[in-house]
């Protein structure tokens, strides 16, 4: 069961060609102590649980940063077949939401790894280290990790049909991803919360199976995410999705 194909995106880096503050910014809709929980679903079954905390504000290299802690683990019946437990600690600047440091502890089946990413915004360098690689990646513009990308999306007021270009780095590979704000008033019903949300829908251009919904209430929650479409013999079988199930402000 290739669950890790979905979760590899949670260790990626996004490079924006548009500065954060060129968007209309709303007041920060989250604070220290916020907790979110998500069901990761495959074939409409929960296969893993994702937990995300805003743990603290800490100082790194003289900058105040949110410490975002993310923990994903397969549910017991799936773990008997394929056990996954990844932990991500992201440190993102309070003012800009740009990351300074990201650490990922990976346990997927028998594979374990520790990935460290340090970002030097002045030099425009990203230092990537794991047990196989130690590389410096140069970039243009500003860099966001996935956690900071999601928290960034919670603070902006995009326009419908606005196109945003990302350069995605998965380890030592960098690719370009084009996205569009497909809707600013999409409606999503979240079963576990028994609630209907009006939401902003971000979608990858040319790939309807990669999408992110951000609620338009005062908390701007990432209520639903769709990632890689699972394929067999080249044919799409099902989406791998994450749905919010719990939120403590």
pLDDT of residue 145: 76
Task: Report the Cα–Cα distance between both ends of the chain, in Å, rounded.
Answer: 34
> Is it the case that residue 3 has pLDDT exceeding 50?
no
pTM of the model: 0.86
pLDDT digit string (tens) for 105-163?
A: 999 999 999 999 998 988 988 899 999 899 998 887 777 777 788 898 899 898 899 88
Which residues fall within 8 angstroms of residue 194, CB to CB, at 6 or more apart? none
pLDDT digit string (tens) for 55-70?
A: 999 999 899 999 999 9
pLDDT of residue 191: 92
- Determine the average pLDDT of the residues in 157-186: 78
H or E segment to which residue 5 belongs: helix 4-7
Mean pLDDT of the chain: 84
- Determine the average pLDDT of the residues in 205-233: 80
> How distant, in Å, are the alpha carbons of 36, 67, 224 from that of 242?
12, 22, 6
Phi, psi of 7 (to 5 degrees): -80, -10
- Determine the average pLDDT of the residues in 14-31: 69
Q: How does DSSP assign 28-69, residue by residue?
A: P---TT-EEEEEEEETTEEEEEEEEEEEEEEEETTEEEEEEE
Ordered by where they begin, the domains of the chain are: 4-248 (2.40.360)
């Amino acid at each position: 069961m290739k669950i890790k194909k979905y979760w590899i995106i949670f260790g990626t880096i996004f490079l924006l060609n548009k500065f954060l503050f060129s968007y209309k910014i709303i007041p920060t809709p989250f604070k220290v102590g916020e907790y979110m929980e998500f069901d990761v679903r495959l074939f409409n079954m929960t296969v893993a649980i994702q937990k995300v905390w805003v743990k603290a504000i800490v100082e790194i290299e003289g900058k105040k940063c949110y410490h975002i802690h993310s923990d994903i683990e397969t549910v017991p019946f799936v773990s008997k077949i394929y056990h996954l437990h990844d932990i991500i600690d992201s440190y993102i600047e309070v003012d800009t939401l740009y990351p300074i440091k990201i650490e990922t502890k990976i346990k997927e089946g028998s594979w374990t790894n520790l990935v460290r990413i340090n970002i030097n915004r002045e030099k425009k360098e990203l230092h990537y280290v794991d047990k196989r690689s130690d590389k410096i990646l140069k970039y243009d513009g500003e860099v966001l990790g996935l956690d900071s990308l999601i928290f960034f999306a919670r603070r902006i007021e995009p326009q419908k049909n606005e196109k945003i270009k990302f350069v995605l780095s998965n380890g030592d590979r960098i690719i370009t991803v084009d996205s569009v704000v497909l809707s600013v008033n999409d409606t999503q019903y979240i079963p576990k919360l028994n609630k209907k949300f009006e939401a902003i829908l971000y979608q990858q251009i040319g790939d309807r199976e990669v999408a992110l919904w951000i609620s338009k209430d005062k908390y701007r929650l990432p209520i639903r995410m769709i990632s890689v479409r699972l394929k067999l013999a080249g044919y799409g079988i099902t989406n791998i999705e994450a749905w919010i199930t719990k939120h403590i402000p």
